[in-house]
Every structure is written in structure tokens, then in C-alpha cells.
Structure 1
Amino acid sequence: MTDVTAIPEHVSIWGELADVDHVLKHVQVDGVRTRVLQAGAGDELVLLHGTGGHLEAYARDIAGLARYFHVTAYDMVGHGWSDLPDTPYTTAVLSDHLIGLLDALGIERAHLSGESLGGWVVAWTAAFHPERVDRVVLNTPGNIANKPEVMARMSESTRAAVHDPSDEVVRRRVEFLFHHKEMVTDELVNLRRQVYSRPGFRQAVENILVLQDPRVRKDYAWDPTWVGKVIAPTLLLWTDNDPTGGLDEADMLLGWLPDARLHVITDAGHWPQWEKVTQYLDVHRTFLLERRDPE
């Protein structure tokens, strides 16, 4: 008799998607070939990954979210297997790419959930394109206080992994995202190695990392003057072991956002969507499907 308990909880990215009807395709967004994965039915939900990332960051969540939402995960411009145009990928550029993607996919309005850099792009989009946004989840958005040491660490580790996409160096970059580093798989590391080895990615990473340069960042930095324009109901999804920012920074955002609440996932790092799948799914389902009585 087969001992099914020997099968690990996470086998592979394909294992997570094996029983989920989904479409993986590329669409043109203002001339940028953009890689997109879609699954499920229901309210529109768009997922945005972090700095140097790709849509596989959400591989463990697609099946669970697709039970309740029409889910779109994608590689932001200059990331993953989307095109790498030689231009600085500022928050405004990434937000414009998101709006262009919604247009290309025929999505008028959507819930937006972004992790790390993706959370920054989501907040910027909600502030400047409120008509396209229903509800917002800012998942470990990171370094709200614009700390130079956090910017330097992010720049150095990302640039090092792109210039030397060896197992050792890239694994160290991926492990930075995790509290439980034993959860980092060879598959995840090798996917990131493949992305970082793409022709043109050395230039792309410089365009990605402009937001870690204080001289550029000052025009997009988290600040109440624009954050206060986010009228969409917002969930701050924090963890207790995020290396990019603590709960003091969550408190800052709570003070700036007109309609926000905080949920903390414990025993997790920068990627709760991978480390704590059940909690991540539960909080998304509860918050995004909540119906408020009209005032």
C-alpha cells in the first residue's frame, strides 16, 4: 500500500496548477509582450509580484483564489518573461503597464493585490486611477520609511544575482524572501536563475533598481500626499518577520490611508503567499468578498 503521507505538501509549481483550468499566454500591452496567467471565474483579481520577480510567486495560491475570483497573474514590464524595454521602470511606468494590461484584457475594474514592489504599484494605481480599482491588498509592501540600508541591501543582492546567476548566489537572493528558508526549492531557484540569465537582463536589472536609488525614489516614495488619495478599501497584509519593514511602517500607512485595516500573518517573511498559503487565501477571500451596506 502506498504511503501517501510521504508526498510533500508542495511538489512543484506544475503540481500546484495540475488540476486547475488555466491559460498561460502573452498579450501585447502598448508594444510590450507581456506574460499572463489566468484562471477561475468571478470578480476580477489581479496579482502583482515583487522586485525582480515573476508570476510564479503566486503558484501556490492560484488554485485557491480561482475558486472565488477570475485571477490574473502576470510578469510586470522588465520582469520574468515579459519584454525588457530599455527604460527606467519607475512606479508610474509599472502602473501604466498595469492599466494597459487591464485594457488589453478587457478588464474595466479589478481587485488588486500586490506583494513588495507590486504593492507599491497597486497603491500608486489606486491613487491615480481610482476608477479602475475595487479593493486593494498591500502584501508586505516593504520599506515604507525609505530606509537607505534596506534599499542598498535590495540593490546589492538583486544585482549580484543577475551578474552571477549561479545556484549559490540566486538561492541567497530567494532565501531573503523567506522566514522558513528550507521552503526554498531548487525549482524556484532555477526559475529565477533562468530569468536572470535572459539576454538583456543585466540592463533590465539596472532599470528595475532605479527605485532603490534615493534620487529617483524621492519622486515616488510612500508619502501621505498621494497615499491619501487611495479611496479603495485597503487591506495591509503584514508579517512578523518581513526583512524589509516592520509593523511600525504598517502603522504609518494606517494613518495615511482613508479606509484601511491591518492583518498580520505570523511565522512568515516577505512571501506569506508561499509560506502561509491557507492564511493568505483566507484573508483574501474574507476581505475581497466582504459586502458593505451602502451609507
Structure 2
Amino acid sequence: MTLPEHISIWGELANVDHEVRHVDVGGVRTRVLQAGSGPDLVLLHGTGGHLEAYARDIAGLAADFRVTAYDMVGHGWSDLPDRPYTIDVLSDHLLGTLDALGIDAPHLSGESLGGWVVAWTAAHRPDRVGRLVLNTPGNIANKPEVMARMRDSTMAAVQDPSDATVRRRVEFLFHHKELVTDELVNLRRAVYSRPGFVQAITNTLVLQDPLVRKDFAWDPAWVGKVVAPTLLLWTEHDPTGGLDEADMLLEWLPDARLHVIADAGHWPQWEKVEEYLRAHREFLLPEKDPT
């Protein structure tokens, strides 16, 4: 009998020592998972997400890094204080999490919203960042139609956290929608059903309002201040931004390279695990790069 490649999130973590706990970050109870040893690598999920977005990668990364994944403020099972979660707020929460964990200047890898947060942090606090991976950071061109689609699909799933609406929201992240599991959908349903989460997602989706977004929008004025070596991890089928937007970042960033993962959508870390892991190892541990 052949077992499926992915059984469950716990199955992915079954053979790696890890710890899940909550730490206090400026009064925000913040859920953190850590595994492995070596250079520090911190992973940031996307809008409405949670650290399980990286469940398929933690064991592989832990072979080379001390991996930290956490739920951003207003997300997952971290606290949901009632305030707008603008990029500066999310960046401050990242820095506070690093302080709480005693991490100085880790490598940062952020997906979607997480990519925006790590880029902003690298621009404004270069002393706290090693190397940078921007994984499908999304809508670099600040297109109103992409903002509207993100806002409407996310809010619909949170207001009605039924299987059908949440499954549609999760499937949006995938090119191969058959990889969306009941477990992943039900985790999102549990998060979206938390008391106060409708207000929390409203506080996150302010970033899809052009008037709020303009203060944090991707722009060469601040992106050009990112001195950390940066890997742009793009895919062929990202619904939030094409390779033309990757080209924009390549022009704006002082030290960047592009890696395109074929046959994947917005979550290459789930759909193309081995290529995602290899891209991180080769960029973050260049002495191990066989080329």
C-alpha cells in the first residue's frame, strides 16, 4: 500500500523535534513554533494565515536552520488587539517577537503579506536582518482589482466560515487545488471562527484600502533601502502578481535575484516543497551551493 505524500500537518512534523509555545510580545500573546539548529530563519505567513502554512517545510529547513514560524498579531492563534494591522504594526510585532525569543538578525522569509512585512523591516531596520526571501509577495503594482479580490474573498470566508467559502479562499492560494486538504480547510475555519476574528480581519484588510495602503505601498523610495541580499521566489501561476512585478522589484532592490518555480500558485512552499527548500538552502547557505 502506498501512502500519500502528505498525510497531515502532524505527520509532517512527526520526525522533527519542535516546540510550540506562546510568548509575550508587548502584551500580545504570540504563538510560535521552533525547530532545528543553525543560522536563524524566521518564516512569516500571509493575510489571514497562520504558521501551519509552513507545515510541509519545517522539517526540511530544520536540518540546516533554527527555524521559527509564528502567527502574526491578529492572525492564527495569536492575540487579536483591536487596532489596524498596518505594515509598520506588523513589522514592530516581528521585531518584538525576535526580541522575546532572543534572536538578533535572522534570515527572513515571508510569503504574500509576510513578504511585504519582511521587506519593510529590512528597509527600516537593516541591522535586524540577515538575508531576505520574498515568496510570492503579491500585488507589487498595487492594482485596485487585486486589492478588491483579496478583500472580498477573505472577508466572505471569515463572515461565513463554512466549508464551502473557506475552501474557496484556500483554493485561491493553489494552482493544484486537489492539494487542499480537509485538515487545512478546517484549521482555517477554526481560526476564522475565533471570537473577535471578524474585527481582526477587518483590521488586516485595511491594507487593501488604497488610502491606507499608500503610506506603505511598494515603492522604490523605500524598497531601494533594502541592503540585504534578496531572493525573489516567484511562481508561474501566482494569482496576485505576475513576473512583470518581479521585474519591478529586481529594478528597485540593490541586491536581488529571481527564482521562478514552475507549476505552482501562491503557496509554492506547499505545492513544490523540494524546490522551495532547495532555493532557500542555496541562497541562505551559499557555501552549500553546488554551483
Whole-Å separation in 2 of the counterparts to 1:128 and 1:22: 31
RMSD: 0.8
1:131 is aligned to 2:127: yes
TM-fit CA distance, 1:165: 0.1
Whole-Å separation in 1 of the counterparts to 2:215 and 2:172: 27
Whole-Å separation in 2 of the counterparts to 1:129 and 1:35: 23
Whole-Å separation in 2 of the counterparts to 1:40 and 1:205: 32
Please tell me the residue identity of whatever aligns with 1:31.
G
User: Which of these residues, 208, 226, 230, is aligned with residue 230 of structure 1?
Assistant: 226
Q: How does 1:1-295 map to 2 (within 5 A)?
A: 3=1, 5=2, 7-291=3-287
Identity of aligned residues (%): 81
Secondary structure class of the residue paired with 2:189? helix
TM-fit CA distance, 1:114: 0.1
Structure 2: runs of 5 or more not aligned = none
Secondary structure class of the residue paired with 1:134? coil
* TM-score, length-scaled by structure 1: 0.97
TM-fit CA distance, 1:262: 0.2
* TM-score, length-scaled by structure 2: 0.98
Please tell me the residue identity of whatever aligns with 2:277.
L
Whole-Å separation in 2 of the counterparts to 1:122 and 1:202: 25
Whole-Å separation in 2 of the counterparts to 1:16 and 1:71: 15
Whole-Å separation in 2 of the counterparts to 1:170 and 1:125: 30
Whole-Å separation in 2 of the counterparts to 1:34 and 1:290: 32
Secondary structure class of the residue paired with 1:73? strand
Whole-Å separation in 2 of the counterparts to 1:16 and 1:288: 23
TM-fit CA distance, 1:270: 0.0
Structure 1: runs of 5 or more not aligned = none
Whole-Å separation in 2 of the counterparts to 1:289 and 1:162: 39
TM-fit CA distance, 1:100: 0.3
Whole-Å separation in 1 of the counterparts to 2:273 and 2:158: 28
What is the CA deviation profile of residues 47-73 of structure 1, one whole-angstrom value per residue up to 9, with x for unaligned ones?
000000000000000000000000000
Please tell me the residue identity of whatever aligns with 2:106.
A
Number of paired residues?
Answer: 288
Please tell me the residue identity of whatever aligns with 2:229.
P
Whole-Å separation in 2 of the counterparts to 1:149 and 1:185: 28
Whole-Å separation in 2 of the counterparts to 1:267 and 1:138: 18
TM-fit CA distance, 1:290: 1.2
